[in-house]
Amino acid sequence: MQFRSLAHILPAEPMQMGPITIHQPLPTQRVDQIDPFLLLHHFGPWEVEPGHDPLDLGPHPHRGFEPVTFLFQGGLRHRDSRNNTGILTGGDVQWMTAGRGIIHSERGSKDFLASGGVLEGIQLWVNLAPEHKMVQPRYQDMKADSFPLIDLPGGAKLKVVAGQFAGQQGPAQTYSPIIAWLLDLPAGATVELPVPEDYNFAAYMLDGKLSLPSGFGYEGRNLLHYKKDGAGISLSGQAPLTRLLLLGGIPLGAPVKQHGPFVMNTQTEIMEAMRDYQMGKMGFYIEEG
């Protein structure tokens, strides 16, 4: 297998969001998207005291893309204007299609806020093609035990969230071909992973350290963006454990216009989204008592 080489190494820069600091490797000034992936935020790991909610994201709208939350540790509660409620614990994933418009909130779950603990996760924004921008919203709440778990050489383990690997299909339903794999890579393990040649591909390192066939090593909190010059990638663990989110997809090739929580193809569509939200056409969020 000819392995892909790197196009960019994108550090996850600290970014202030109100009272909290998250780490953002995408977008950057150098790379505005890795089509179809628009944004990646790594939050935590935070030690959370009982009763304190560092990630209290009150009701806010989205249109035109899919916000996806990978929760590694802690507990979150999702609620939206389509009457979906989800409780996430460590290892769960929620894949929300905003489509024509939805209002949602994400907060610490009741049990997690009562006990406290460590909170860590990733929010990923996946773009929708022009023909899918205005689909009906959809909410997928996927539990940790629903993902195929594949044993790889050297004790490495790969979870399939979206797409397939070694004949195992992930449970996430997507509007365009997407790969989302979670990889635990121990020290000394080397894995070779095939990637379709027409997919853009990137690997986000939450922590740890690894090396590539080039001989170069990379630390955690870096996004490795690959060129489309090979049939796969090779990763070698250089720390007791390196955790990665591996992302691939066929590029949509559509123009992107973004304003805050709306991602469309033209400025006119952005103005329409703002108007529709103000007129209540994205539904109404009702908080639980």
Return the number of other C-beta atoms located less than 10 Å from residue 227's C-beta: 12
CA 115 → CA 44, 72, 120, 134, 143, distances in Å? 17, 17, 15, 40, 21
62 annotated ligand binder:
yes
Which amino acid makes up residue 226? Answer: Y
CA 118 → CA 15, 106, 154, 245, distances in Å? 20, 16, 28, 19
Do you find a cis peptide bond into 59, omega within 30 degrees of 0? Answer: no
For residues 71 and 91, is the Cβ–Cβ distance under 8 A?
yes
Which pair of structure tokens corresponds to residue 77? 């509660």
For residues 47 and 141, is the Cβ–Cβ distance under 8 A?
no
Q: Phi/psi of residue 121, each to 5°? A: -170, 180
Residues 31, 19: Cα–Cα separation, whole Å: 27
Which pair of structure tokens corresponds to residue 68? 């996806």
Element (H, E) at 198: none
Residues 133, 63: Cα–Cα separation, whole Å: 7
Return the number of other C-beta atoms located less than 10 Å from residue 241's C-beta: 16
For residues 208 and 221, is the Cβ–Cβ distance under 8 A?
no
49 annotated ligand binder:
no
Q: Residue ranges for the binding site?
A: 60, 62, 104, 106
Annotated binding site for Fe cation: 60, 62, 104, 106
